[in-house]
Amino acid sequence: MNPPWPPRGLYAITPDETDTDRLLARVEVILAAGATWLQYRNKAADGALRATQARELLTLCRRHGVPLIVNDDWRLAAAIGADGAHLGEDDGEIAAARDALGDAAIIGASCYDDPELARLAAASGASYIAFGAFFPSPTKPNARRATLDLLRDSAPLGLPRVAIGGITPDNARPLVEAGADLLAVISGVFDAADPAAAVRAYLDCFDARPVHSPSTTDISTP
């Protein structure tokens, strides 16, 4: 069983920020405003900087009661004691990550526009499945495009569904209505003129804002 982290809300993903102090300051605003989960992602950093930043972010996340999930690298997640890892199709086996991180870890899988990848991820022990991009994304302008049907049709898998890719508060509601449990966002919050207000606007797309206290909602692994 995974920790009972809230499975609905805003899944904030960090931007490529090489200044660790600046990164922490930017993330602090997002977490304080109510971000539900945080994923550490930094394609511009080397291994040493990634390890340093991930450890610092874990401390910050612990302070706010928010799980930290490491992008691409379950080994780094295991080394620092992060709450989980998010894996793309080229980032290793979900089963291996589960074995290393344990039953309580949150392990996510990028499924892009492919329902078969979602089925395989669920069978391999993923905690959630992520689809996208749903809209043009400044982070991945050439990303595969996903449809609302992917969110609807994957409901029988029984896992939280994450939507990603060009999501704004103005276009997010149809995703939530189609079954998205978490809205994964980078530039929509970190590049916003008022990041805290942006977080609140995303949370307003849900019927009820998530509660950070790990005491009510459980995400079960298959």
Residues noted as catalytic: 41, 110, 140
Task: With CA atoms as reference, report the closest residue to 159 among 123, 112, 114.
Answer: 123
DSSP helix/strand/coil, 204: coil
79 phi-psi bin (left φ>0, alpha ψ -120 to 50, beta other):
alpha
Contact 67, 54 (CB under 8 A): no
DSSP helix/strand/coil, 161: strand
Burial class (CB within 10 angstroms; exposed 0-12, middle 13-18, buried 19+) of 183: buried
DSSP state of 71: E
User: Alpha-carbon distance 163 to 172, whole Å?
Assistant: 9
